[in-house]
Structure formats: structure tokens, C-alpha cells
Amino acid sequence: MTVAVLGAGAFGTALAISLAQNCPVTLWARDLGDMARSRENAKRLPGFGFPDTLSVTADMSIASRADILLLSVPMQKLRALLQDNALLLADKRLVACCKGIELSTGLGPVTVIQECVPSATAAVLTGPSFAADIARGLPTALTLACKNDAAGEKLQQLLTTPNLRLYRTTDTIGAELGGALKNVIAIACGTAMGAGLGESARAALMTRGYAEMQRLAAHLGAKPGTLSGLSGFGDLTLTCTSTQSRNYQLGLSLGKETAFDPDTTVEGAATAIAVQDVAQRAGLDMPITAAVAGLLEKRLDVQTAMNALLTRPLKEE
Ligand SMILES: NC(=O)C1=CN([C@@H]2O[C@H](COP(=O)(O)OP(=O)(O)OC[C@H]3O[C@@H](n4cnc5c(N)ncnc54)[C@H](O)[C@@H]3O)[C@@H](O)[C@H]2O)C=CC1
Ligand SMILES: O=C(CO)COP(=O)(O)O
């Protein structure tokens, strides 16, 4: 068995290092930089040397020979990667490792794979994990979702490592929505903490944000229960409480009104805008998502957004 990881960001590099314990792994990058010589991704994941079983390439025809390909580019770049390489990726097992909703279509990564490479087996790997934790070999549990349970079970077995424990589901919609929506709530939580609104406010945002996540997931056909697993509740907890999270960090800077590096990958920003549109079309009430979208689009300031949430009509929980 061989694995390739397409996209040499922090997460793709960490997964490649971890999976290289199981089998030969090829890490594909658009731009290899100095990685082949230094045997390290100094730009995205410094301090973690590559094991001997990990090779790097910028040649997709080499990477696409692998049995299983993990797609670890940001969500808004996924479609172009698939379209550009559709012939090489035909009939492959493609596992999306990105968390988000496509801005132009409102779709998640599994559907984007199915649209671009219909002959592929599409899956998504998601759940609570920071790249550095995985690269360090710290214990991590994730969800592997694939509509075809037999194919999902095989992927679960092949991609589990001594430190990376995979659970399995056939509910790709629920799994990808959990990973996408928790980032939006993490921006809200970071904003509240950055603005000094306190930990009680953060707990309220996490809980009511989780209610929003479940509302949209149910509307889009997710199985009841998936959102309470690693891909939903698990990742929500991690991302809303850790300063390691870039979504949470963006929120902190919005709350503190400080500058934020625009080159940082913050998946929740595009997802908030995409989800706001989906929710409006569906007539769903998602006030925290709407507040985050308003902050990001600079239609709202933090105080106005908070007042809007607090003055909504009182209702049953
Ligand atoms: N960093 C983390 O701890 C985790 C990240 N993720 C997810 O992994 C995905 C990727 O995030 P990171 O690796 O952290 O981002 P990153 O910012 O570290 O790296 C993104 C990488 O994608 C590459 N890239 C961008 N557009 C590309 C294209 N068109 N073709 C090829 N490569 C392209 C960039 O060159 C860069 O190497 C995101 O969806 C994120 O939510 C999931 C779990 C943990
Ligand atoms: O998805 C993640 C943790 O599970 C990583 O979070 P950030 O993208 O916010 O850094």
C-alpha cells in the first residue's frame, strides 16, 4: 500500500509524517522549496524532520501513482486541484482533509470530489487535531467518512497509525459539516474572548453555535448523532478553546481590533459567508453565523453584533 498527500501545508505535512509509520508516503507540493534537501517543511511545519519512508515531489504524475491520495489544500483551492489533475486522479481513493464549504457553490469537499472526479471513491478525514500534535506523535482521534462502508472500513484500517485512531461513518454530509461549521463558531468565540466578554459568553456561543450547526446539518440530511462525534462536538471544543487555532486567533484579533496576517489559512472566513447564503436560502435561523459573516464583511462591529444576539426574541432552549 502507498499513500500520497497532495498539498504540503502544515496539516498535509503532519499527516504525511504520521502515515509514513505505516507505508511509503509521497508528499506533493506545488513548490518544493528546500524540502527535498533539508527533509523538513521549514515554511509550514518547522522542527519536524521527515522519516526515510517519506519522499517529496512536485510531479503529480509520480504522486498520483499512490493507492490512496489525501487532499490537503485549503477548501477554496480543492476544485481547481481536482479539475487540473482529473485524468491522473480517475478511479483513485481520494480522501479530503480540508474543512470548509465552497464559497461559489455551498458544497462540501466530498461532493466537490464527486463532481470533479466521478470515478473516484470519495471520503473525508476530519476531527479535532492540530498539525503539530499529529507530527509530534501525540494521541489523536479523527473521523473517516465514506458513503461506501466497505471502502471506508478499508481506508480506516490503512490510515490508522499507532498515534492516530480513526473512527468511521458513512455520513459524509454530517462529518464535513461538523468540520466546516465549527470554524465559524471558533471565530465567534475568539472574538468574544478578544473583546473581553468573558468565558461565560464563550460557553454560550459554543453551545448556541452547536445548536446552529445541528440545525443546518439536519436540514442538509446529516444523520442525527454525527455532529455529537469527533467531527462536530469534538472539533468544536478544540477549536473554540485553543489559541493554537487560526480561526480562534482571527476572532481574537477581530475582538481586540488588531491586525491579522491575511496569508494565514482561516477556513471559517469563507465558510461563514457561504453558510450565511445557504441558511438564508433555506430559511434557517443561524444568528451566530450571520454575526460572524457581518463582522468579516465589516457590516457589523463587535458591540453591534453582540447586542443583536442578546436582544433576539426570548425562546425555549
Ligand atoms: N493546520 C492544522 O492544524 C489543521 C488543518 N486542517 C485543514 O487542512 C487544510 C489545509 O490547512 P493547512 O495545511 O493548515 O494550511 P497551510 O496554510 O499550512 O497550507 C496550505 C497549503 O496549501 C497549498 N496550496 C494552496 N493552494 C494550492 C493549490 N491550488 N495547489 C496546491 N497546493 C496549494 C499552499 O501552498 C500551502 O502549502 C485546511 O482545510 C484546514 O482546515 C485540518 C486539521 C488540522
Ligand atoms: O481544524 C483544526 C483543528 O481540528 C485546526 O484549526 P485551525 O484551522 O483553526 O487552526
pLDDT per position as a tens digit, 107-135: 999 999 999 999 999 999 999 999 999 99
70 CB-near residues (< 8 Å, 6+ apart): 3, 4, 5, 6, 12, 15, 19, 95, 97, 125
Catalytic residue among 154, 182, 256, 298: 182
Q: How much is the mean pLDDT over the chain?
A: 97
Question: Is 154 among the residues known to form the active site?
Answer: no
Ligand 1 in reach of 7 Cβ (< 6 A) = yes
- In this structure, the number of other CB atoms found within 10 A of the CB of residue 211 comes to 12
9 is in an annotated binding site: yes
User: What residue owns the CA closest to ligand 2's atom 6?
Assistant: 245
Return the best residue to mutate from 124, 265, 267, 271 for the ligand 1 pocket (most ligand atoms within 8 A of CB): 265
Residue carrying C-alpha cell 454560550: 204
Separation between Cα atoms, residue 314 and residue 26, nearest integer Å: 54
198 is in an annotated binding site: no
pLDDT, average across residues 75-100: 98
HSE value, Cβ hemisphere, 13 Å, CA-based, for 75 = 30
Share of the chain above pLDDT 70, in %: 100
User: What residue owns the CA closest to ligand 1's atom 5?
Assistant: 11
Categorize the per-residue pLDDT at 141 as very low, low, confident or very high, splitting at 50, 70 and 90: very high
Categorize the per-residue pLDDT at 247 as very low, low, confident or very high, splitting at 50, 70 and 90: very high
Cβ atoms of 48 and 14 closer than 8 Å: yes
pLDDT, average across residues 179-202: 98
Ligand at minimal distance from the CA of 100 is 1
Residue type, 222: A
User: What residue owns the CA closest to ligand 2's atom 8?
Assistant: 246
315 C-alpha to center of ligand 1: Å? 40
Q: Is the pLDDT of residue 208 over 90?
A: yes
Which residues have C-beta atoms less than 6 Å from ligand 2?
A: 99, 128-130, 183, 186, 235, 238-239, 245-247, 267
b/e map 13-49, b = 16+ CB within 10 Å: bbbbbbbbebbebbbbbeebbebeeeeebeebbeebe
Ligand 1 in reach of 46 Cβ (< 6 A) = no
Maximum alpha-carbon separation in the chain:
61
Position 69 scores a pLDDT of 98
88 C-alpha to center of ligand 1: Å? 21
268 is in an annotated binding site: no
CA dihedral 9, 136, 65, 113 (to 10 degrees): -50
37 is in an annotated binding site: no
Q: Which atom of ligand 2 is nearest to the CA of 128?
A: 4
247 is in an annotated binding site: yes
Position 308 scores a pLDDT of 93
Q: Which atom of ligand 2 is nearest to the CA of 186?
A: 9
Categorize the per-residue pLDDT at 230 as very low, low, confident or very high, splitting at 50, 70 and 90: very high
Query: Does the complex come out with an ipTM higher than 0.90?
Result: yes
Q: Is the pLDDT of residue 309 over 90?
A: yes
- In this structure, the number of other CB atoms found within 10 A of the CB of residue 267 comes to 23
40 CB-near residues (< 8 Å, 6+ apart): 46, 47, 48, 49, 50
Evaluate if pTM is beyond 0.90. yes
Separation between Cα atoms, residue 2 and residue 194, nearest integer Å: 44
What grid cell was written down for 267?
A: 477556513
Ligand 1 in reach of 9 Cβ (< 6 A) = yes
80 CB-near residues (< 8 Å, 6+ apart): none
Position 224 scores a pLDDT of 86
Q: Which atom of ligand 1 is nearest to the CA of 245?
A: 3
* Sheet with 93-96, side-by-side order of all strands: 54-57, 25-28, 3-6, 68-71, 93-96, 121-126, 140-146, 164-169
Closest by CA position to 18, among listed 152, 168, 125, 163: 163
Q: Which atom of ligand 2 is nearest to the CA of 127?
A: 4
